[in-house]
Amino acid sequence: MSKASIEQLNEILGKDQVITDPDSLEQYGQDWSKLFTPNAMAVLRPNSIEQVQDIIRWAKEHKVAIVPSGGRTGLSGGAYATQGEVVLSLDRMNQIQSFNAVDQTVVCGAGVITEQLQNFAEENDLYYPVDFASTGSSQIGGNIATNAGGIKVIRWGMTRDWVAGLKVVTGNGDLLDLNQGLVKNATGYDFRHLMIGSEGTLGIIVEATMKLTRKPKELTVMVLGLNTLKDVYPVMEQFQKSLSLTAFEFFSEQALQHVLSHHDLQRPFDSESDFYVLIEFENDSEATTDLAFGAFEKVMEQGLIVDGVISQSETQAEQLWGLRERISESISVRTPYKNDISVVPSKVADFLSAVDGIVKEKYPSFEIIWFGHIGDGNLHLNILKPEDLAVDEFVAQCKQVNPLIFDAIQSLGGSISAEHGVGLVKKDYLPYSRSEIEITLMKQIKKAFDPAGILNPGKLIDCSE
């Protein structure tokens, strides 16, 4: 970056908010996918909407590409700066600005940490239900830009379901104030929903009005052991008949072994199973407890499970959740190649059988880790890199099999990316989930909001073709 450009940006942002040292460029220029080489030109750290607008106008005038940056916890390469782009970090815009107890809404800067919002809701005897392993570092703006999901989707839905309003800066530097927290607003196109999941390619999310809800009562956790994948959904069906589930998660014995080897946690019970499901529900009465035990007895009698445990305290519930939530952290030392894929729940058994067969045939020497949000049809397939294999060669081998996996997903009407987004990792595979007409329309929408093509170029779709 030229000295003149740095001086111009210093005038916009103030001293010390234009960062060019190599360590910061590497830190801010990548996300958790770890599959690309960061190459950012500078990091810009605005603290106001007006500063974001001025940055966008400067970038458009000087034809400089911008990569928006939140907590950088994504796994699709969507926050990577690989072509000398400027990183626009929203981490200073981290204030909870206002709260309306009647509307049960809270206005947040884009840089507010997810856990920060969850804690604020709890302090006001309310609940923000979108939850996942990276809540301590992910940011609301990034969650919205990727439509983050997580572990409570079966009951409370995706991030999209909790966004009442948005303020977004377009590629022209214009500020859009979308929906303004309204419950009902039948006035044409809802641009708010275009921005949700757009991965920073249409605009920079700078502020969000988020909905809250009542706190759940007495969340209780069960972990059940199964020996075959086909038994997962009969178990889920039985529990859904009796209980209102808040989570229904899945992980394999191999995944559990990685967690136990890296964390001070215990097996849920003495016997080993090939697969496990974690069930969470509101247990607000003795009658609900009786229903839970009744469902447990039925699936045990039917031979669908081999063992199980139910939490007796909040601490034990947290420990059982740790067996599921610490999987990604535990396998990260092995450089996993991740596939975040989904089908409708009724097709998961066919999906698992097809993909598991492909993986075992094509990766006989690779360790495969399965886990995911099976209650909403979302599974995470993790292929672990052998220690003696170079990263580039490992990724190349994994990519060779992607078309086979995605063919199986396409045949079942599924998605190649359930909640991690497209970014750089899945961009080439978008036609497996979106038609040619849809992709053409997406490109036209991109040009309407970002005519100069400066916002996260090369991610999700490629408009340079």
- For the chain, residues with pLDDT lower than 70 are 464-465
User: Are 196 and 225 found together in one domain?
Assistant: no
CATH code (residue 53): 3.30.43.10
Task: Give CA–CA dist 31/75, Å, rounded.
Answer: 7
* Residue 454 included in any domain: no
| Per-residue model confidence as pLDDT tens digits over 415-434 | 999 998 999 999 999 999 99
Q: What is the pLDDT of residue 289?
A: 95
d(CA 114, CA 128): 9
In a domain, 438, yes or no: no
Give domain status of residue 447, yes or no: no
Give me the domain span that covers residue 120: 96-214
Instruction: Return all residues near 235 (Cβ < 8 A) that are at least 6 apart.
Output: 224, 226, 277, 299, 304, 305
The answer to whether position 74 is within a domain reads yes
Q: Answer yes or no: are the C-beta atoms of 130 and 376 closer than 8 Å.
A: no
Domain termination residue (choose one: 44, 59, 91) = 91
Structure tokens at 405: 């996996």
β 203-211/275-282 pair status: unpaired
Number of structural domains the chain divides into: 4
Q: Do 80 and 109 reside in the same domain of the chain?
A: no
pLDDT at 258: 96
Residue 261's Cβ-side half-sphere holds a number of Cα atoms within 13 Å equal to 11
DSSP letter for each residue of 243-268: --EEEEEEEEHHHHHHHHHHSS---S
From the CB of residue 263, how many other CB atoms can be counted at a distance below 10 Å?
13
Q: Same domain, yes or no, for 244 and 323?
A: yes
In a domain, 445, yes or no: no
- Whether residue 276 sits in one domain with residue 381: no
Within-domain flag for 146 = yes
What pLDDT is recorded for position 20? 95
Strand arrangement, sheet containing 66-69: 18-19, 42-44, 86-89, 66-69
| Same domain assignment for residues 85 and 158 | no
Mark whether 230 and 209 lie in a shared domain: no
Q: What is the CATH number of the domain that holds 377?
A: 3.30.70.2740
Q: Quote the CA–CA distance of 426 and 417 in Å, as a whole number.
A: 8
pLDDT value, residue 111: 98
| pLDDT tens digits for range 42-85 | 999 999 999 999 999 999 999 999 999 999 998 899 999 999 99
How far apart, in whole angstroms, are the C-alpha atoms of residue 323 and residue 256? Answer: 6
- Whether residues 350 and 420 share a domain: the answer is yes
Q: Are 110 and 171 contained in the same domain? A: yes
Q: Which of 180, 198, 214 finishes a domain?
A: 214
Q: Report pLDDT for 167.
A: 98
Residue 449 lies in a domain: no
pLDDT of residue 445: 97
Residue 460 lies in a domain: no
